[in-house]
Amino acid sequence: MATYILKTLLKALVVVLGVSLLVFVLTRSIGNPVNIMLPLGASMAERANLTHQLGLDKSVLAQLWDFASGVVRGNFGESWWQQESAMTVALRPLPFTLELSGIALVISLVFAIPLGILSALKPRSLLDKLTSTSSMFGICVPNFWLGLMLILIFSNLLHWFPTSGTGGWRYWVLPSVTLAVLPLGRITQIVRTAMLEQLRELYVVTARSKGLPEFWVVTRHALKNAGIQIVTMSGWELGRMIAGYAIAIESVFGLPGIGSLIVDAIGQQDYPLIQAITFVIAICIVVLNILIDLSYPLFNPRIKFK
Amino acid sequence: MSKSIAAVTESIDLRDSRPRFYELRRLAKKMIKDRLALYALIFLLLIFFSAILASVISPHDPTTGDLWSRLQPPSLAGGYSGHLLGTDQLGRDILSRLFYGGRVSLRIGFITVIFSSFVGIFLGLLAGYAGGKTDTIIMGLVDIQFAFPGMLVALVFVMVLGPSELHLIYALAFNGWMVFARMARSLVLTFRDGPLIEAAKAIGVKPLKIMIRHILPNIFASLMTLFVLEVARIIGAEAMMSFLGYGIQPPLSSWGLMIGEGRKYFPMAWWLIVYPGIMIAATVLALNIFSNWLTTAIDPLQKGQSG
């Protein structure tokens, strides 16, 4: 167990440092951001002043040192755009995005698991074909476009849900459904493949021959063993939602999550904020991966951490 | 003539260990039987040729608009404008822009994946063939990159280098090589210790040549299916980046950018975003179906699994 923890932490450290360093190198390799921050007519003195204020007149090595010590303390300095600690700004919209992605994952699991099981139980049946086809569609439709289409139909045409913003449950419906479609397709496929694999196993034959009701054979035996694959895929999808799909979806629905913040921070060329956001997201993904790993013994007690 | 045919039939036994990717006629027969894959291929060919021939078949110029006829509804849906799929906010013909946009989307998809597959396959071959420390280091890199928030890094990449087609290709390829490396490595491992490689080693073929001449052709077919899948994924990613404004820049156009530009006007002009979205979805879907078919055509044993 101890070696497992050590190994995992080491890997996590490499990932977080790697991402942070990459962003540092990338952001330092372009010209002086002061050019964008100041109005066109700014004097040389103003430029020099701001450059000094931002610490951009130090040598690259000194900047790297500042940055590295910042990463260790989780402090990336002040956001240039928001005039407060970049870390605070980066953390503020995180709960929203986590909540949205969590809801989307729950929606997709609620549909994916039964559909995947049913189509694995009767491969090549009508239901199986329908499920495979629609999960394929779910994977192929660009989700930002799907969001716009849902707005077009359910907000502009039918007036059932608001187009954008936050508020009561009505505001959550369209974004979370949009976000859920892609994971729904992929998790359904994984559940189906994993269940097909498990249902062929001998222990299923044993369970059936001792007269266990089919429902328990499927849920308690086969599903539990397929659990590892399903959990891995779900965690993977959750990570991709937080670090990728949320960017487009939050932008489409005008939501105050970390995805919109990324787009804003990039638009403002706010280096400390970009660094803080990538750091926060890298940590989220690392934590998620550790949680997935830790869940494996729940499904298969033979798994020990080494 | 007859002599060469005899030679070919004789040599089939020797090729038996190779995937049957080279039997074009058998594949063609299979394709006609599998209707869905056939339609997908026909659709892909249509898209491909419409992209190549965009300048010939476009009814209007895609970049010059006519402000008097902006936001005209499609004549398909009862408009009188003479624009089959309507016009956008600057009065440009949507159909023509779809042809030209497809050219950009496909170009980016293919070039990016050619980049990422070259790098990925080479590193994967190296890791699988060399083993030991090389393997640990390369696969460690792959693992780290898989944990990266890919889209985020791509956005930062493009912001830093400045949005342009080439930079977009770099950014997307940077996030795509690992899949190829991982697959190439696992395929190499199944081959590395076989008689084929042993024989090559025995007669003193150099490692690089073994990797490229003897291993690569054997795993090439499986990598092809991944190539097609990745093109589909990259077309989707390009669309998203362009939609957010960090991909293709006007006056150039891609399907994703058309949706991004049409977003402000879409409540009153649905045709601005509906058509480009359908094009993206259909292309990605067709590529996925084709790749699925390719997998089963190359290795019939997998049929039961992919259904």
Residue B291 banded pLDDT, cuts 50, 70, 90: confident
Q: How far apart are CA A159 and CA B1, in angstroms?
A: 72
Q: Please tell me the predicted confidence (pLDDT) of residue B118.
A: 93
Chain A: give the shortest CA distance to residue B135, in Å: 17
State phi, psi for A158 to the nearest 5 degrees: -100, -15
Q: Is the pLDDT of residue B120 over 60?
A: yes
Q: Is the pLDDT of residue B21 over 60?
A: no
Q: Please tell me the predicted confidence (pLDDT) of residue A163.
A: 76
Q: How far apart are CA B299 and CA A291, in angstroms?
A: 36
Q: Which residue has the higher pLDDT, B293 or B57?
A: B293
A141 touches chain B (CB under 8 A): yes
Q: Please tell me the predicted confidence (pLDDT) of residue A214.
A: 87
State phi, psi for B148 to the nearest 5 degrees: -70, 145
Q: Which residue has the higher pLDDT, A174 or B11?
A: A174
Residue B76 banded pLDDT, cuts 50, 70, 90: low
Q: Which residue has the higher pLDDT, A143 or B80?
A: A143
Binary contact (A123, B148; C-beta < 8 A) = no
Q: Is the pLDDT of residue A59 over 50?
A: yes
* Mean pLDDT (chain B, rounded): 80
Chain B: give the shortest CA distance to residue A265, in Å: 10
Q: Please tell me the predicted confidence (pLDDT) of residue A30.
A: 60
Angle between helices B216-244 and B150-161 (to 10 degrees): 70
Least confident segment among A42-56, B83-97, B137-151, B206-220: A42-56
* Cis amide bond preceding B267, omega within 30: no
Classify A78 as helix, strand or coil.
strand
Six token digits for residue A42: 């700014």
A137 touches chain B (CB under 8 A): yes
The one-letter code for the residue type at B99 is F
State phi, psi for B87 to the nearest 5 degrees: -125, 160
Whole-model pTM: value is 0.83
pLDDT in tens, B243-275: 988 888 887 888 999 898 888 887 788 888 888
CB B279 within 8 A of CB B98: yes
Residue A78 pairs with which residues in a beta bridge? A85
Domains of chain B: 34-60+67-302 (1.10.3720.10)
CB B305 within 8 A of CB A196: yes
Nearest-CB residue to A140 (from B267, B270, B281) = B281
Q: Which residue has the higher pLDDT, B60 or B186?
A: B186
Residue B113 banded pLDDT, cuts 50, 70, 90: very high
Section B157-179 average pLDDT: 86
What is the secondary structure of A92-140 as a DSSP string?
A: TTHHHHHHHHHHHHHHHHHHHHHHHHHHHHSTTSHHHHHHHHHHHHHHH
Binary contact (A14, B144; C-beta < 8 A) = yes
Q: Which residue has the higher pLDDT, A23 or A108?
A: A108
B289 touches chain A (CB under 8 A): yes
Percent of chain A whose pLDDT exceeds 70: 93
ipTM, 2 dp: 0.82
For B289, nearest residue in chain A (alpha carbons): A136
* Cβ-based burial of A73 (10 A; exposed 0-12, middle 13-18, buried ≥19): exposed
User: ∠ CA A241-B138-A289 to the nearest 5 degrees?
Assistant: 30
* Mean pLDDT (chain A, rounded): 83
Binary contact (A128, B307; C-beta < 8 A) = yes
Considering only CA atoms, give the Rg of chain B.
23
Chain A: give the shortest CA distance to residue B236, in Å: 6
Q: Which residue has the higher pLDDT, A95 or A300?
A: A95
Q: Please tell me the predicted confidence (pLDDT) of residue B244.
A: 87
Q: How many CB pairs under 8 A join A and B?
A: 120
Shortest CA distance to A186 belongs to which of A224, A120, A121, A132? A132
Q: How far apart are CA A220 and CA A227, in angstroms?
A: 10
| Set of chain B residues whose Cβ sits within 8 Å of the Cβ of A244 | 149-152
B126 to each of A246, B123, B144, B204, how far by Cα in Å? Answer: 36, 5, 18, 18
A254 touches chain B (CB under 8 A): no
pLDDT in tens, A254-301: 888 898 898 888 887 787 888 888 888 888 888 888 888 888 888 888
Shortest CA distance to B94 belongs to which of B260, B269, B251, B271? B271
B141 touches chain A (CB under 8 A): no
> Any alpha helices (H) in B162-215, and if so which ranges?
165-174, 177-192, 195-202, 207-209
| Set of chain B residues whose Cβ sits within 8 Å of the Cβ of A248 | 240, 243-244
CB A151 within 8 A of CB B264: no
Residue B87 pairs with which residues in a beta bridge? B93
Q: Please tell me the predicted confidence (pLDDT) of residue B7.
A: 46
Q: Is the pLDDT of residue A156 over 50?
A: yes
